[in-house]
Amino acid sequence: MSNQKNKSILLTGCAGFIGSNFIPYFLDKYPEYHLVNLDLLTYAGNLDNLKEIEQNERYTFIQGDICNRVLVEEIFETFDIKGVIHFAAESHVDNSIENPGVFIETNVNGTFILLDVAYKFWMDKPFIFKEGHEACRFHHISTDEVYGTLGEEGLFTEETPYAPNSPYSASKAGSDMIVRSYVHTYGMNTVITNCSNNYGPKQHDEKLIPTIIRKALNNENIPIYGDGKNIRDWLYVLDHCKGIDLVYHTGEQGEVYNIGGRNERNNNYIAQKICNILDNLKPKESGAYQELITYVEDRAGHDRRYAIDATKIEKELGWDADENFESGIIKTVKWYLDKYSVEYNLNSTSDLMKRT
């Protein structure tokens, strides 16, 4: 049951990468909050990511599906939910190509159910909040992939037209539009953040950076799509968490905020940088890790470049990324070495940090 001394906030999908970094940060910063984590625990969710807070009396975990309306309604009633931060999503582009239906169901219909339950629980009718629910807010976490792809120049802004190119990004674009509709039709207090590529601790092994680290340590080929020149704007996960915090608490109702790290790097650079770090921290018995880099057939519909203009959140809310890619990737590699119980040269870690 809800602790009546604490304001209850529903967080979805927080056994995954970004959410499992967010919850410990949020619990520590806001002692007045009780956090309810609803997660289906699909392949991307892992409760080991949350061991550090599982005994916290201000944290409740519920295993369940955001598409289960009865369950979502029960959670709102039981805990008197006063806010939602919605992370839950199917997010792997390759999987969306193989099985797009799951992405539509979770990302579009799941978002609709959460929104609609919140609307009915918080509001008497369009634009009229129930007494005691006037400050309730729904924060939808989205992606820069909804904007499509960029040429060699330019940045995604909050005014960039949507042009999704994969079933994943199309499903996220659809969920963004449903959130937008609940602002304009019903007067709900919502905000949306669209982030660039996150990296850091607790990311699922299937993603690019963990794959490079794992393959290198196992002395296996490191697969890179196409020519490796696809560019992404990389954002350290804790910097993203701080941005979400700022937008949830101080963002303007109905607004969209892009969160990006201003760290454009192509996949070749990412692979080579990680290999160089590993050469320092955990040298191979012979040769260099870069020798393992192998180019494979490109992904279908692979967007060439993403890059976010974060000016709005920087200027209006005062957000700024603490990590550049070169500092964040060292912390990330070190975390995975610890995860895999790999001994490494601690002195090299210090030397690498000094050079960033």
pTM of the entire predicted model: 0.93
Length of the chain, in residues: 356
Report the alpha-carbon distance of residue 130 to residue 118 in Å, rounded. Answer: 12
Give yes or no: 168 in active site. yes
Query: How open is the CA angle 138-171-67, to the nearest 5 degrees?
Result: 60
Q: Look up residue 322 and give its amino acid.
A: D
Average pLDDT estimate for 63-86: 98
Report the alpha-carbon distance of residue 127 to residue 331 in Å, rounded. Answer: 46
Q: How confident is the model at residue 90 (pLDDT cuts 50, 70, 90)?
A: confident
Structure confidence at residue 46 (pLDDT): 94
Structure confidence at residue 44 (pLDDT): 85
Structure confidence at residue 151 (pLDDT): 87
Residue with structure tokens 């919605």? 86
Is the pLDDT at 223 greater than 90? The verdict is yes
Active-site hit among 59, 147, 168, 186: 168
Report the alpha-carbon distance of residue 260 to residue 144 in Å, rounded. Answer: 9
The pair of three-digit structure tokens given for residue 295, joined into one six-digit string: 């180019």
| 196 to 28, 38, 86, 94, 340: CA distances (angstroms) | 25, 24, 17, 18, 27
Start-to-end C-alpha separation, the chain: 47
The pair of three-digit structure tokens given for residue 26, joined into one six-digit string: 């949020």
Structure confidence at residue 299 (pLDDT): 82
% of the chain at pLDDT higher than 70: 95
Average pLDDT estimate for 176-192: 98
Q: How confident is the model at residue 99 (pLDDT cuts 50, 70, 90)?
A: confident
Active-site hit among 90, 144, 176, 303: 144
Contact 81, 114 (CB under 8 A): no
Structure confidence at residue 344 (pLDDT): 78
Q: Cβ–Cβ contacts within 10 Å for residue 130, how many? A: 13
Contact 263, 320 (CB under 8 A): no
Q: How confident is the model at residue 1 (pLDDT cuts 50, 70, 90)?
A: very low
- In the chain the domains, ranked by start, together with CATH numbers, are 7-200+234-259 (3.40.50.720), 208-230+265-301+324-355 (3.90.25.10)
Give yes or no: 73 in active site. no
Active-site hit among 39, 90, 145, 323: 145
Structure confidence at residue 4 (pLDDT): 44
Report the alpha-carbon distance of residue 273 to residue 209 in Å, rounded. Answer: 11
Structure confidence at residue 137 (pLDDT): 98
Give yes or no: 248 in active site. no
Q: How many CA atoms lie within 13 A of 198 on its CB side?
A: 28
Q: How confident is the model at residue 2 (pLDDT cuts 50, 70, 90)?
A: very low
Question: 25 CB contacts (<8 Å, ≥6 apart)?
Answer: 238, 241, 242, 245
Q: Return the exposure string of 78-92: e unless at least 16 CB atoms fall within 10 Å of the residue's CB, then b.
A: ebbbbbbbbbbbbbb
Is the pLDDT at 349 greater than 90? The verdict is no
Candidate ranges 8-12, 102-106, 296-300, 347-351; pick with highest mean pLDDT: 8-12
Q: Where are the beta strands (DSSP E) in the chain?
A: 7-12, 33-39, 59-63, 83-86, 123-125, 128-129, 137-143, 190-195, 197-199, 222-225, 231-236, 256-259, 264-266, 293-296
The pair of three-digit structure tokens given for residue 261, joined into one six-digit string: 């790290």
For residue 319, with 0-12 CB atoms within 10 Å meaning exposed, 13-18 middle and 19 or more buried, which class applies? Answer: buried
User: By mean pLDDT, which of 37-41, 98-102, 121-125, 217-221 is the weakest?
Assistant: 98-102
| 223 to 154, 283, 297: CA distances (angstroms) | 28, 20, 9
The whole-chain average pLDDT of the chain stands at 93
Structure confidence at residue 43 (pLDDT): 84
Structure confidence at residue 350 (pLDDT): 55
Output 182 or 43, whichever has higher pLDDT.
182
Structure confidence at residue 356 (pLDDT): 57
Is the pLDDT at 232 greater than 60? The verdict is yes
Output 2 or 300, whichever has higher pLDDT.
300
Is the pLDDT at 189 greater than 90? The verdict is yes
Average pLDDT estimate for 231-240: 96
Is the pLDDT at 346 greater than 90? The verdict is no
Structure confidence at residue 3 (pLDDT): 41
